[in-house]
């Protein structure tokens, strides 16, 4: 068993670790490698590197607050080759599986995009059809409203014309009646004047007004003599 301190290499110790395993350890021998924890990514990466090289990772544990250790057993060449071949085959299989998965994902994405495009086209066609139907309905409603308005306007004009004609006829009838009445009055007046001219003239005796009689004057009343002093009787006027 050998111990190697790689802390001075910080996070760049992987190549040196592989070199020490290949040159410093014998097949079946165990080596302990000490390195810095850093951001903890070195723990998993060191284990991956050991497996990729075909060796056995015996242990991986914390050394102190800042350092980590892994225990590695070096594999013999036959084992290493077999493991590397298996790892390579697994890698190829993983790559193929990834490629297949990628192709499947691509196909699924294309199918999804095709369906979405078809749905979008169908939706657009439906919206266009609905818009056309709505436009047609609005146009039909507009034409019907225009026809109704035209009919109402014509009916209104007809009624106004009938009312105007009735009013004009009434005014004409009233005027004719007034003219007939005036003609009748004029004819009656002419007839009266003609009858007055043909009638004989009679002299009406003029009575003289009776002469006014002047009333006789009454004799003036005599003034009564003043009574003497001490007399009780008064003289009466005749």
Range with the poorest average pLDDT among 49-63, 85-99, 160-174, 216-230: 216-230
User: In terms of pLDDT, which residue wins out, 38 or 217?
Assistant: 38
Q: What is the mean pLDDT of residues 73-84?
A: 92
Q: What is the mean pLDDT of residues 80-101?
A: 90
- Which residue, chain included where needed, has tokens 């818009």? 131
What percentage of the chain has pLDDT greater than the value 90?
Answer: 68
Helix (H, G, I), strand (E, B) or coil at 70: strand
Helix (H, G, I), strand (E, B) or coil at 232: coil
Query: Helix 14-24 crosses helix 41-52 at what angle (to 10 degrees)?
Result: 40
The DSSP 8-state label assigned to residue 13 in this structure reads -
pLDDT value of position 193: 86
**Single pTM value for the model:** 0.43
Going by C-alpha positions, the residue among 8, 30, 11 that lies closest to residue 21 is 30
User: In terms of pLDDT, which residue wins out, 211 or 146?
Assistant: 146
Please state which CATH class domain 2-75 belongs to: alpha beta
Domain ranges of the chain: 2-75, 77-166
Q: What is the mean pLDDT of residues 60-65?
A: 94
30 near 71, Cβ under 8 Å? Answer: yes
Going by C-alpha positions, the residue among 61, 60, 58, 57 that lies closest to residue 49 is 57
Going by C-alpha positions, the residue among 21, 107, 105, 113 that lies closest to residue 71 is 21
In this prediction, residue 86 has a pLDDT band, given cuts at 50, 70 and 90, of confident
pLDDT value of position 209: 59
pLDDT digits (tens, 9 = 90+) for 187-234: 898 888 888 888 765 555 555 556 566 666 665 555 555 555 554 545
- String of b and e for 142-168 (b: at least 16 CB within 10 Å)? eeeeeeeeeeeeeeeeeeeeeeeeeee
Indicate the average pLDDT of the chain: 86
Is it the case that residue 104 has pLDDT exceeding 80?
yes
Instruction: Return the ∠ at Cα 208 (arms to 204 and 210), rounded to 5°.
Output: 150
Is it the case that residue 142 has pLDDT exceeding 80?
yes
Burial class of residue 46, CB neighbours in 10 A (0-12, 13-18, 19+): buried
CA 14 to CA 42: how far, in whole Å? Answer: 9
Going by C-alpha positions, the residue among 21, 27, 22, 28 that lies closest to residue 3 is 21
49 near 18, Cβ under 8 Å? Answer: yes
């Amino acid at each position: 068993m050998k111990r190697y301190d790689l802390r001075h290499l910080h996070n760049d110790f992987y190549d040196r670790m592989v070199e020490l395993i290949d040159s410093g350890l014998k097949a079946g021998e165990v080596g302990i490698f000490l390195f810095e924890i850093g951001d903890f990514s070195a723990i998993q990466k060191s284990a991956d590197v050991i497996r990729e090289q075909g060796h056995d990772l015996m242990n991986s544990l914390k050394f102190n607050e800042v350092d980590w250790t892994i225990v590695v057993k070096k594999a013999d060449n036959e084992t290493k080759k077999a493991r590397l071949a298996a790892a390579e085959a697994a890698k190829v299989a993983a790559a193929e599986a990834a490629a297949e998965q990628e192709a499947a994902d691509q196909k699924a994405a294309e199918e999804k995009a095709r369906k979405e495009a078809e749905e979008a086209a169908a939706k657009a066609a439906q919206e266009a059809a609905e818009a056309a139907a709505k436009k047609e309905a609005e146009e039909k409603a507009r034409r019907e409203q225009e026809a109704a308005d035209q009919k109402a306007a014509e009916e209104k004009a007809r009624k106004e014309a009938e009312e105007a004609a009735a009013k004009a006829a009434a005014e004409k009838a009233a005027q004719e009646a007034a003219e007939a009445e005036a003609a009748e009055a004029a004819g009656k007046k002419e007839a009266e004047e003609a009858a007055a001219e043909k009638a004989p003239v009679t002299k009406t005796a003029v009575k003289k007004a009776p002469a006014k009689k002047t009333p006789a004057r009454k004799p003036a009343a005599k003034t009564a003599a003043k009574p003497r002093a001490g007399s009780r009787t008064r003289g009466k006027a005749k």
